[in-house]
Amino acid sequence: MYTLEVKNLTKIFGEHKANDNVSLQIEKGEFFVLLGPSGCGKSTLLRSVAGLEIPDSGEIFISGESVMDKEPGERDVAMMFQQATLYPNMNVFDNVAFPLKIKGVDKQKIEKQVTDALELVQIPEKRNSNIKNLSGGEAQRAMIARVLVQDPEVFLLDEPFSSLDHQLRVYMRKEIMRIHQKTGVTIMFVTHNQEEAMKVGDQLAIMNNGRIEQVGTPAETLQQPNNKFVAQFIGHPQMNFIPAEVSEQDGQLVLKVDSQTYGPIAQEDLIKQPESTDLTIGVRPEEVSVEKEKKSGEDKLNSKVEFTESTGANNYIHFDLGGASVQASVPEIKDWDQGDEVSVSFNKERLKLFDPDGERIK
């Protein structure tokens, strides 16, 4: 039994399909991240789980039980929004105690649970503070405490830290991970920040245009993207995409980039047979190796350096292949100059191939 299961969920706003036949399963204790560009429907999905949106079709199960007829408050979920939704008319203690009061928990229990929760988020000294006097981080901690006291089956977070500055965001992210480890609560976390998603998630679901493109561990989505969208969305710096044509040469498959030939590629490496000859090579900058001199031969492509750039820690050179701008990671930036001849080869194991629909075939 899954802690949270979504089956064929569709939600339409006017003409726009915010969620298009979405299905997913979350195991107990999992840190599940919904990742996607803004407007991809990830927040709508989360809000449907919370009961704040009524889906047009599909079903949602929490602990094996359908929650479609349940009010948001009856679903055994707790939710954190982008902004800390502390109630301005209550102090910190009353804010954290609010969900318990609504559920009619008795006073002594409330006192103990709220005290414990404030301890856990490390702001016990703020219990009687007016929420106006909290810093951004303290407000988020109070929010986490209010979510924790509800002891929910699923903890829903809708980009909870995106309004914080970078340092605080990193810090709160660690806090959430610490609390996740300590309490073992199941978390569904929405973000558009792929770095954040990779760091916190046990499982990622990458969404685009209302659909889930891929579900997997961060490593899986990075190393085995289902399609071009996932490949370009996950990983930093971005994957290079080079248009190529597949053709047969001496009974073997080769890739043609402009007039140059790359290959051969082993037939058995392909997940499926390409239906078209127009393909896209996907290769990450660190999987591109470059040599200074023009060399010909198997698996070598030639180009000229267009420009170089450095982040201090990482150095990249950029060149053109088949009309696409390609960047390669290099150990030393000073070895390279604009206009230098460069001979390029790829890590063949890691090289990806995408068909014209963007599906990965290798």
Partner 1 sequence: MSKKQTSGIKWLRKKFSSLLVLLLGVGLFLFVFLPIFYIATMSIKSQSYVVSGEFSLIFFKPSFNAWINTFNNPRIWTGLSLSVRTATISTVIAVILGTMAAYGFSRYKFRGDDDFLFFILTQRMLPPIAIFLPYTLVWQYLDMIGKWYNLLIPYILISLPITTWLMHAYINNIPIELEESARVEGCSQLEVLWRIVLPNSLPGLLMTSMFNFALLWNEYMFALFFRNRTLPVEVGAGIRYVELTPWPTLSAQGVFLMVLPATFAFYLQKRIREQPITF
Identify residues 303-322 at the interface with partner 1 (CB under 8 A). Answer: none
Query: Which residues, at least 6 apart from 256, have a Cβ–Cβ distance to it below 8 Å?
Result: 244, 245, 246, 247, 262
Residue type, 325: S
Q: Which of 32, 98, 189, 346 binds partner 1 (CB under 8 A)?
A: 98
Distance CA 56, CA 139 (A): 35
Q: Is 356 in the site for partner 1 (CB under 8 A)?
A: no
From the list 65-73, 197-205, 246-254, 261-269, the region that binds partner 1 by CB under 8 A is: 65-73
Identify residues 116-135 at the interface with partner 1 (CB under 8 A). Answer: 132
Q: Is 237 in the site for partner 1 (CB under 8 A)?
A: no
**Nearer residue to partner 1 within complex by CB, 76 or 320:** 76
Length in residues, the chain = 362
- For residue 237, is the peptide bond before it cis, meaning its omega torsion is within 30 degrees of 0? yes
Distance CA 49, CA 345 (A): 47
Owner of token pair 């051969």: 264
**Nearer residue to partner 1 within complex by CB, 49 or 257:** 49
From the list 27-35, 77-85, 173-181, 226-234, the region that binds partner 1 by CB under 8 A is: 77-85
Q: Is 102 in the site for partner 1 (CB under 8 A)?
A: yes
Q: Is 81 in the site for partner 1 (CB under 8 A)?
A: yes
**Nearer residue to partner 1 within complex by CB, 155 or 354:** 155
Q: Are the beta carbons of 3 and 153 closer than 8 angstroms? A: yes
Q: Which of 34, 45, 50, 212 binds partner 1 (CB under 8 A)?
A: 50
Least gap, CB of 89 to partner 1 (angstroms): 4
Identify residues 24-43 at the interface with partner 1 (CB under 8 A). Answer: none
Least gap, CB of 122 to partner 1 (angstroms): 22
Q: Is 77 in the site for partner 1 (CB under 8 A)?
A: yes
Give me 182's structure tokens.
């300590």
Query: Across the beta sheet with 324-330, what order do the strands follow?
Result: 288-291, 341-346, 301-310, 315-321, 324-330
Q: Is 4 in the site for partner 1 (CB under 8 A)?
A: no
Convert residues 197-236 into a mask of x (bound to partner 1 by CB under 8 A) and - (unbound): ----------------------------------------
Q: Strand 57-62 and strand 4-13: pairing?
A: antiparallel
Question: Considering CB under 8 A, how many residues would be counted as binding partner 1?
Answer: 26
Residue type, 200: V
Give me 176's structure tokens.
């959430």
Q: Which of 87, 82, 83, 109 is nearest to 98 (CA)?
A: 87
Q: Are the beta carbons of 248 and 254 closer than 8 angstroms? A: yes
Rounded to the nearest 10 degrees, the angle between the axes of helix 136-149 and helix 107-120 is 130
Q: Is 83 in the site for partner 1 (CB under 8 A)?
A: yes
Q: Is 99 in the site for partner 1 (CB under 8 A)?
A: yes
Q: Which of 23, 68, 103, 289 binds partner 1 (CB under 8 A)?
A: 103
Q: What are phi and psi of 319, to 5 degrees?
A: -150, 170
Q: Which of 8, 57, 72, 294 binds partner 1 (CB under 8 A)?
A: 72
- SS3 call for 27: coil
Q: What is the binding site for partner 1 (CB under 8 A)? A: 50-52, 71-75, 77-79, 81-83, 85, 87-89, 98-99, 102-103, 132, 146, 150, 156
